[in-house]
Amino acid sequence: MAYSEKVLDHYENPRNVGSLDVNDPNVGTGLVGAPACGDVMKLQLRVNDQGVIEDAKFKTFGCGSAIASSSLATEWIKGMTVDQAMAVKNTQIVEELNLPPVKIHCSVLAEDAIKSAIEDYKKKQGARGGKDQVA
Amino acid sequence: MAIKLPIYMDNHATTPLDPRVLDAMLPYLRDNFGNAASRSHAFGWAAEKASEDAREQVAALIGASGKEIVWTSGATESDNLALKGAAEFHKDKGNHIVTAQTEHKAVLDTCKRLEKEGFQVTYLPVAEDGRVRPEAVAAALTDKTILVSVMLANNEIGTVNPVNEIGAVVKARGCLFHIDAVQGVGKIPFDVNAARADLVSLSAHKMYGPKGVGALYVRRKPRVRISAQIDGGGHERGMRSGTLNVPGIVGFGVAAEICRRELSVEGPRMLALRERLRQGLQSQISDTFVNGSMEHRLPGNLNISFAFIEGEAMLMALKDVAVSSGSACTSASLEPSYVLRALGVEEEMAHTSIRFGIGRFNTEEEVDFVIDLVARKVKKLREMSPLYEMAQAGIDIKSIQWAAH
Ligand SMILES: Cc1ncc(COP(=O)(O)O)c(C=O)c1O
């Protein structure tokens, strides 16, 4: 199978590999996929007082396209507001990385990972009676 | 000696053509272009003699006689001819066929078609070590069983089946016994009489011969009858029509001859290289699991799972080494290897398997290069793996409620 240049670039030089402190109230963590299906993505983001995502990290168990999709996702959402990040669509990832049809599920997983990290962040903020319940 | 990249270590998929084989073939692609069925001139006689000599060479490798060799276009055709040919010819005696879940698709999909035509097929499960048990075969045989098809060695995990014991069980009940011997012949000793085989599929390109040529051994004593599946000029004693691929057949013959002569030296050399690879990988990398029996295994095969790393990501990281994976991502189906699943390997581990197939042209230097490369890439990919992170933190991956597909 031939990979697009962009997939290869993200795979070989993944952006934002790592972890943020799960216990930080400003950090949201999303863990999606399943080991039995061959892909698991963990995506984390830290939101500042202005509601802007100031940092994002990922770790992915999956094929090159899954790694590239999550790497791209973290790169994109850094600097976005939470609402902007919520609007990122898997089709944008497919387009940017030139993913073939059999790899579309990788982009879906990356979108799910962003949403699930944001939900986790919001839940934490809600529980704290948080600062920015500005929906 | 400098290592030439990429390194080829996928010798179960195909093997490179041995230069000695190519040299033998070339005259038959040039001046000796005759049709082996031409009886009226020297061109035809030369081609026929070349084909007959190759028949003896291939037969000698498996303890058969040249008259028992039917040339085909490869083992896919041989498997089809053996199963469909036997089923069609013997359908009045019964309609039941026994095979195993870990067989090659050329056998399994042929069986599926036969099922559509009214045959009943039992797909035997295998033990955890990947091998078919003779007792399981015995228990599956019925009065309706006409044919049993079990492979000599598996193309993914390299496990070797006890074909001699299975043959004894099958013949005690008077059924036909077919062996897909593609991966084992030339690599380990195999004898059609010891296995009591009636039909045996072979392929040249798995033993350093050319692609597109294979053979079906069809026993003469006692004579085994099958129905031809390709009709035409009645070549190969009516069992397989079509003008012979003489250059390919010549290459197959020489390839078989080389395997036979060198087996006693090459077998131990392959085993030593494979063990160097296995020990090197397992001493440098934690959490690895070999899939399938270590004891009953082709000398050149290592199928190993690197926990927490998906197989296709691993293949991408090993772009200087040609190997393959049982991961779903390398197939269109998104299902991990059916062979590994049949062994009871959990899906998540099946996704992490890599198949190394060492062959005649691999060297110690290449093996050492591969060990070092794999160890470095495993480290890098595990740093990226959330599953590895969880395992390090003592979290049981199975305790997590994962979403379905
Ligand atoms: C066990 C087994 N049977 C059959 C085949 C098919 O052989 P061929 O490529 O000659 O059609 C292969 C090769 O992929 C194989 O490994």
Residues 6+ apart with CB under 8 A from A47: A26, A27, A28, A53, A54, A82, A121, A132
Banded model confidence at residue B2, pLDDT cuts 50, 70, 90? confident
ipTM above 0.90, yes or no: yes
State the DSSP string of B78-94: HHHHHHHHHHHHTTTT-
Mutate to test the pocket of ligand 1, among B10, B104, B338 (most ligand atoms within 8 A of CB): B104
Predicted confidence at residue B1, as pLDDT, reads 65
Helix (H, G, I), strand (E, B) or coil at A125: helix
Nearest alpha carbon, ligand 1 atom 11 = B76
Packing angle, helices A64-77 and A90-97, rounded to 10: 110
pLDDT band at B401 (very low <50, low <70, confident <90, very high): confident
CB-neighbour burial class of residue A21 (10 A; exposed 0-12, middle 13-18, buried 19+):
exposed
- For B97-111, write each residue's pLDDT tens digit: 999 999 999 999 999
pLDDT of residue B326: 74
User: Which helix (H) or strand (E) is B315 found in, with range?
Assistant: helix B311-317
pLDDT of residue A131: 53
Query: Mutate which of B385, B388, B397 to test chain A, going by most A C-beta atoms within 10 A?
Result: B385
Chain segment A83-124, per-residue pLDDT in tens: 999 999 999 999 999 999 989 999 999 999 999 999 999 999
Interchain CB distance below 8 Å, B386 and A61: yes
Burial class (CB in 10 A: 0-12, 13-18, 19+), B288: middle
Mean pLDDT of chain B: 95
Instruction: Report chain B residues whose CB lies below 8 A from the CB of A62.
Output: 310, 313, 329
Q: List alpha helices for B185-292, DSSP H.
A: 246-284
Q: Percentage of residues in chain B with pLDDT exceeding 90?
A: 93
pLDDT in tens, B248-266: 999 999 999 999 999 999 9
Listed residue (B6, B18, B98) closest to B261, CA to CA: B18
User: pTM of whole model > 0.90?
Assistant: yes
Whether B5 contacts chain A with CB within 8 A? no
Give the span between the Cα atoms of B185 and B203, in whole angstroms.
9
C-beta B72 within 6 A of ligand 1: no
**What band does B397 get if pLDDT is binned at 50, 70 and 90?**
confident
Residue B76 alpha carbon to ligand 1 centre in Å: 6
Average pLDDT over residues A20-46: 95
3-state secondary structure of B102: coil
pLDDT value of residue B40: 96
> A67 CA to chain B: closest CA distance, Å?
8
The pLDDT, as a whole number, for residue B108 is 97
Instruction: Compute the nearest-CA separation of B308 from chain A (Å).
Output: 7
Q: pLDDT band for position A134 (50/70/90)? A: very low
- Whether A63 sits among the annotated catalytic residues: the reply is no
